[in-house]
Protein backbone atom coordinates (compact mmCIF):
# COMPACT_ATOMS: atom_id res chain seq x y z
CA UNK A 1 0.00 0.00 0.00
CA UNK A 2 1.50 3.30 -1.06
CA UNK A 3 1.51 6.39 1.13
CA UNK A 4 -1.09 7.97 -1.13
CA UNK A 5 -3.43 4.96 -0.81
CA UNK A 6 -2.90 4.96 2.95
CA UNK A 7 -3.83 8.67 3.18
CA UNK A 8 -6.93 8.10 1.04
CA UNK A 9 -8.02 5.16 3.21
CA UNK A 10 -7.47 7.19 6.37
CA UNK A 11 -9.47 10.12 4.98
CA UNK A 12 -12.31 7.78 3.97
CA UNK A 13 -12.37 6.28 7.49
CA UNK A 14 -12.56 9.76 9.04
CA UNK A 15 -15.39 10.78 6.70
CA UNK A 16 -17.31 7.62 7.54
CA UNK A 17 -17.10 8.43 11.26
CA UNK A 18 -18.33 11.99 10.66
CA UNK A 19 -21.27 10.80 8.58
CA UNK A 20 -22.54 8.26 11.08
CA UNK A 21 -26.34 8.27 11.16
CA UNK A 22 -28.00 9.99 14.07
CA UNK A 23 -29.46 7.65 16.70
CA UNK A 24 -33.16 6.89 16.42
CA UNK A 25 -35.68 6.93 19.26
CA UNK A 26 -39.22 5.61 19.64
CA UNK A 27 -41.84 8.32 20.08
CA UNK A 28 -45.54 8.14 20.90
CA UNK A 29 -47.23 10.70 18.65
CA UNK A 30 -50.77 12.02 18.95
CA UNK A 31 -52.07 14.47 16.34
CA UNK A 32 -55.52 16.08 16.78
CA UNK A 33 -57.39 17.07 13.63
CA UNK A 34 -60.79 18.64 13.12
CA UNK A 35 -62.02 15.26 11.88
CA UNK A 36 -60.43 12.95 14.47
CA UNK A 37 -57.33 12.01 16.44
CA UNK A 38 -54.40 10.03 15.06
CA UNK A 39 -52.09 8.03 17.36
CA UNK A 40 -49.03 6.02 16.42
CA UNK A 41 -45.51 5.02 17.45
CA UNK A 42 -42.77 6.51 15.30
CA UNK A 43 -39.04 5.78 15.19
CA UNK A 44 -37.15 8.99 14.39
CA UNK A 45 -34.13 11.16 15.22
CA UNK A 46 -36.04 13.86 17.08
CA UNK A 47 -39.51 15.12 17.96
CA UNK A 48 -39.83 17.32 14.87
CA UNK A 49 -39.11 14.47 12.51
CA UNK A 50 -41.48 12.18 14.46
CA UNK A 51 -44.28 14.75 14.15
CA UNK A 52 -43.69 15.19 10.40
CA UNK A 53 -43.67 11.43 9.82
CA UNK A 54 -46.88 10.93 11.81
CA UNK A 55 -48.57 13.83 10.02
CA UNK A 56 -47.67 12.38 6.62
CA UNK A 57 -48.81 8.93 7.68
CA UNK A 58 -52.12 10.23 9.02
CA UNK A 59 -52.93 12.17 5.87
CA UNK A 60 -51.67 9.70 3.27
CA UNK A 61 -51.70 6.33 4.99
CA UNK A 62 -55.43 5.92 5.35
CA UNK A 63 -57.27 4.33 2.43
CA UNK A 64 -60.50 5.96 3.63
CA UNK A 65 -59.32 9.56 3.30
CA UNK A 66 -59.57 10.49 6.96
CA UNK A 67 -57.62 13.26 8.68
CA UNK A 68 -57.93 15.88 5.98
CA UNK A 69 -59.09 18.55 8.40
CA UNK A 70 -57.00 21.27 9.99
CA UNK A 71 -54.42 20.17 12.57
CA UNK A 72 -55.51 21.41 15.99
CA UNK A 73 -52.51 20.24 17.97
CA UNK A 74 -50.01 17.49 18.56
CA UNK A 75 -48.15 15.74 21.36
CA UNK A 76 -44.83 13.94 20.84
CA UNK A 77 -43.30 12.02 23.76
CA UNK A 78 -40.53 9.48 24.11
CA UNK A 79 -42.12 6.05 24.17
CA UNK A 80 -41.96 4.18 27.41
CA UNK A 81 -40.20 0.80 27.29
CA UNK A 82 -42.51 -2.17 26.87
CA UNK A 83 -43.43 -3.69 30.19
CA UNK A 84 -43.34 -7.44 29.70
CA UNK A 85 -44.36 -9.88 32.34
CA UNK A 86 -41.75 -12.46 33.35
CA UNK A 87 -41.98 -15.83 31.70
CA UNK A 88 -43.58 -18.50 33.89
The residue segments making up the domain with residue 47 are 22-78
Residue 85 domain-assigned (yes or no): no
Closest alpha carbon to 51 in 32, 23, 70: 32
pLDDT, residue 1, reads 58
Residues 50, 31: Cα–Cα separation, whole Å:
11
pLDDT, residue 7, reads 72
pLDDT tens, position by position, 34-53? 988 999 999 999 999 999 99
Residue 71 domain-assigned (yes or no): yes
Of residues 26 and 88, more confidently modeled: 26
Given pLDDT bands bounded at 50, 70 and 90, which one contains residue 85? low
Structural domain count, the chain: 1
pLDDT tens, position by position, 5-39? 667 777 777 766 666 677 889 999 999 999 889 99
Residue 10 domain-assigned (yes or no): no
- Beta-strand relationship, 36-44 and 25-33: antiparallel
Residue 12 domain-assigned (yes or no): no
Residue 83 domain-assigned (yes or no): no
Residue 14 domain-assigned (yes or no): no
Amino acid sequence: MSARDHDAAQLQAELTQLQAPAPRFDFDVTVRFEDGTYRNKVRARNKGVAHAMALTDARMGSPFGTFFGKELGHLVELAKPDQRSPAP
